[in-house]
Amino acid sequence: MILPRQRYLVAAFGLILMSFPLLANVLLPGDTNVSPDVFADPGNPPLLGDITGTFNLGNGVLIGHWEEVVLVDPFSSPTVCGGCLDFAFQITVDSSAAGAGIFSANFARFFGYTTDVGYVTNSGDVAPNSVSRGPFGGGVTFLFNTADSAIGLGRVSDFVVVSTNATTYDRSGSLGIAGGNSQNPNLSGQINELFEPTFVAPEPASWTLMLAGAAALGLMRRRR
């Protein structure tokens, strides 16, 4: 028989357990070298937006094209916000590039939003080996910096995904890409006017709360 106080404790414990998947999967501000989540192929969900473009770094040393889509979260067990917005990006390095590859891709900006970060398995032929998020939560960086994960000649990245709790978006985002080869080791460039969550400037008093919250969540994760 469960007494009233026990029922209260069971309910409270249940709520805590429900919150743990969020703490386990959400990429927090300041997190570095985290293994990205692996998302199953969602099929063909309706897209809210789909844009494409090209890049050319080092006068033909590193050339290719990219695609970004924004969609309502299609995954059956969302860790951030069911029905909120996901931002997915794919990078292709052309086979005509002069032997260079891409090692990192930094998406800005996601400040003030919760993010679960990963990639859609088997949507390309290169998966990121780790992800990081800036100390204030603005940029999300996918690293392809191992021999097996570099996006090299003729290779296509898996769709990398930033799943958020955003409900609106605009075209003020950007993507910084970096790569190179032994002769040109420090090639970089920026792609602008990408989809991103609508930026909402926090109230001054919110800064302290957000920083304290991020520190507390980080402490909880380390203790686990």
Q: Domain-by-domain residue ranges, the chain?
A: 25-199
User: What pLDDT does residue 98 have?
Assistant: 73
**CB of 157 within 8 A of CB of 124?**
yes
H or E element that contains 105 = strand 101-108
pTM score, whole prediction = 0.77
Within 10 Å of residue 114's Cβ, how many Cβ atoms?
A: 18
Sheet holding 187-197, edge to edge: 130-133, 139-143, 101-108, 169-180, 187-197
CATH: 1.10.10, 3.40.50, 3.30.70, 2.60.40. Which one for 25-199?
Answer: 2.60.40
CA torsion angle 79 148 142 195 (round to 10): -90
Whole-number pLDDT of residue 140: 96
Residues in contact with 6: Cβ distance below 8 Å, sequence separation at least 6, in sequence order: none
**Per-residue pLDDT tens listing for the chain (224 residues):** 444 433 332 333 233 223 333 333 689 999 999 999 998 887 777 899 999 999 999 888 889 999 999 999 876 555 677 789 999 999 999 987 777 799 999 998 898 898 899 999 999 999 999 999 999 888 999 999 877 778 998 999 999 999 999 999 999 999 999 998 888 888 999 999 999 999 766 555 444 555 555 555 555 555 55
Spacing of C-alpha 128 from chain mean position: 11
Looking up tokens 């891409």 gives: 102
DSSP assigned state of 204: H
